Amino acid sequence: MSQKVELDPSLYDPIQLLKITRNGVAKQPTKIKAAKAAHPEKIKLLARFLKEMTEPLSGMLSFIYQCPVSLTAIPCKTLEHQILTESLQGFRAN
């Protein structure tokens, strides 16, 4: 039999609303360290792309990240499908 545990609200601060901003999203590509990656030559190309596309992408990504989790999953599933499709084509070709 489980016991219900009640917390005294005066013991903790309430969780504030999570704010995802364009500037916050734009900071992340600047922190990529391509030299530490398993395949640095490919990561350097991706890091360069992300750094150059930070301005247009950060606005769209910050908008997507503010959506409910159920909607945020749509871009992730789309990317997952694209990766799977490309991988399967590569396996079949080789």
Domain membership of residue 59 (yes or no) is yes
Domain membership of residue 3 (yes or no) is no
Report pLDDT digits (tens) over 32-72: 776 776 676 777 787 778 778 888 888 888 887 777 766 66
Domain membership of residue 7 (yes or no) is no
Domain membership of residue 61 (yes or no) is yes
Answer yes or no: pTM beyond 0.85: no
Between these two residues, 3 and 54, which has the higher pLDDT value? 54
Query: How confident is the model over 15-34, as a mean pLDDT?
Result: 77
Q: How many domains does the chain have?
A: 1
Instruction: Please report which residue ranges of the chain form alpha helices under DSSP H.
Output: 22-27, 40-52, 54-65, 69-93
Domain membership of residue 66 (yes or no) is yes
List the domain range (segments joined by +) for residue 63: 20-88
Domain membership of residue 94 (yes or no) is no
Distance CA 69, CA 78 (A): 15
Choose the weakest-confidence range: 13-17, 24-28, 31-35: 13-17
Domain membership of residue 13 (yes or no) is no
